[in-house]
């Protein structure tokens, strides 16, 4: 199986501008209104988490990145400035889409980016396939209960992240 991926460089005011699709409410899928495909993954800190357990507790941002991507660096830098205000109300799970990057590389990246409150995980081909991830900065905003609220790719501003977290925390 071959995955093609690259940086998504466009900036948009809303994280849902670049990926389109029609959802069938109640069905599992990757479009707004679908139930997000469940998975279980190990974080770089050794925790085993499932998406369903995360979304049972609170809404969750599922973010796909690579440590070499400059757009991820910009996007996550903006996250680092506002996420602490919402970490008790919104989960954030970052999954590496470059399956060649290991725990050490990701851990160093998290430390450099001051993202200690965010769970990071090594890439998983099944998750990347299930979420049709082909670009870095792919993000899914998933509500409590597992329904996809919004999705998109590309860098977003600190202000937009603030709005995303604020709307998810309500």
Pick from 98, 102, 43, 107: which is nearest to 68 by CA? Answer: 98
CATH number of 40-169: 3.40.30.10
CA-CA-CA-CA torsion sign (132, 133, 135, 141): positive
- Domain limits, the chain: 40-169
Please give the Cα distance from 110 to 18 (Å, whole number).
26
pLDDT in tens, 3-56: 334 455 444 444 444 344 455 557 999 999 999 999 999 999 999 999 999 999
**Is-contact 26 170, C-beta < 8 A?**
no
Q: Got the DSSP string for 83-134?
A: GGGTTTT-EEEEEES-TT--HHHHHHHHHHTT-TTSEEE---HHHHHHTT--
pLDDT in tens, 50-61: 999 999 999 999
For 165, the 3-state DSSP assignment is helix
């Amino acid at each position: 199986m071959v995955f093609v991926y690259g940086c998504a460089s466009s900036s948009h005011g809303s994280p849902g501008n670049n990926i389109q699709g029609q959802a069938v409410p109640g069905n599992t899928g990757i479009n707004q209104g679908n139930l997000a495909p469940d998975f279980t993954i190990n974080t770089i800190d050794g925790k085993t988490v499932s998406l369903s357990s995360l979304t049972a507790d609170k809404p969750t941002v599922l973010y796909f990145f690579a440590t070499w991507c400059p757009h991820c660096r910009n996007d996550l830098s903006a996250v680092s400035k506002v996420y602490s205000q919402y970490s008790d109300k919104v989960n954030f799970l970052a999954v590496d889409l470059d399956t060649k990057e290991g725990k050490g590389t990701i851990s160093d990246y998290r430390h450099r980016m001051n993202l200690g409150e965010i769970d990071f995980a090594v890439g998983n081909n099944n998750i990347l396939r299930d979420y049709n991830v082909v670009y870095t900065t792919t993000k899914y905003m998933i509500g409590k209960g597992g329904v996809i609220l919004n999705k998109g790719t590309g860098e977003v501003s600190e202000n937009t992240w603030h709005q995303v977290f604020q709307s998810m925390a309500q």
